[in-house]
Chains A and B, each alone.
Chain A
Amino acid sequence: KAGVTQTPRYLIKTRGQQVTLSCSPISGHRSVSWYQQTPGQGLQFLFEYFSETQRNKGNFPGRFSGRQFSNSRSEMNVSTLELGDSALYLCASSTLTGKDAEAFFGQGTRLTVV
């Protein structure tokens, strides 16, 4: 069974640009969540999608947005990039949404903003 696939693995962008990251969940998983990992702030929840609907959102500015498609694949978009957006962005999928759900993580996309 294939795991969670994130593309691309590495990205370098210039301040002010926008970027789109992609996540393909494990087959059959309908929930996709996104997390930002930085050395200073650690792992922080961005948002969760379930059946194409955003179910929950973390405390990030509106520059961070996402969507989920009918095949459960998800994209995350960051507009007007800032240096502080440099981070490892992790996607996680699970079969259900709920506090007991086991989240399976991808390897992440390493975004560097210069």
Chain B
Amino acid sequence: GDSVTQMEGPVTLSEEAFLTINCTYTATGYPSLFWYVQYPGEGLQLLLKATKADDKGSNKGFEATYRKETTSFHLEKGSVQVSDSAVYFCALRRQGSGGGADGLTFGKGTHLIIQP
């Protein structure tokens, strides 16, 4: 079945450091790929998405490129802030056989801690 693999952390960085969170996936067909962020006590917020190979999603200084050849969707940010501290989830979604789509398949989440 489909799966998403990402480092769980915690990942601890200093403010203004460069961030990379690796995400690789296993899926048949051509899934769409997503990064979601979850702040303490909150639900998930969509951070960015990419729907086809070589697409780059970007939002709030975060970027990720859909790499089909390496089945990866790594999240990057050039300069992190304390407010970026949260749990980040990589996810994929495939088109289903019945006209709709399968549910989102999530990675385990990466806990990011940014120290001032």
Contacts and interface: CB of A to CB of B under 8 A. Distances in A.
12 contacts: A33-B104, A42-B109, A45-B102, A45-B105, A47-B103, A48-B100, A55-B99, A58-B103, A92-B44, A99-B94, A100-B93, A101-B93
Interface in B1-57: 31-32, 36, 41-46, 49, 51
Contact of A45 (B43, B45, B46, B104): B104
Contacts of A56: 96, 98, 100-103
Give the size range of B's interface with the partner: 20 to 34
A30 to B, nearest CB: 11
Chain B interface helix/strand/loop/mixed: loop
Interface of A: 4, 33, 35, 42-48, 50, 55-56, 58, 90, 92, 97-108
Contacts, number: 74
Contacts of A35: 103-104
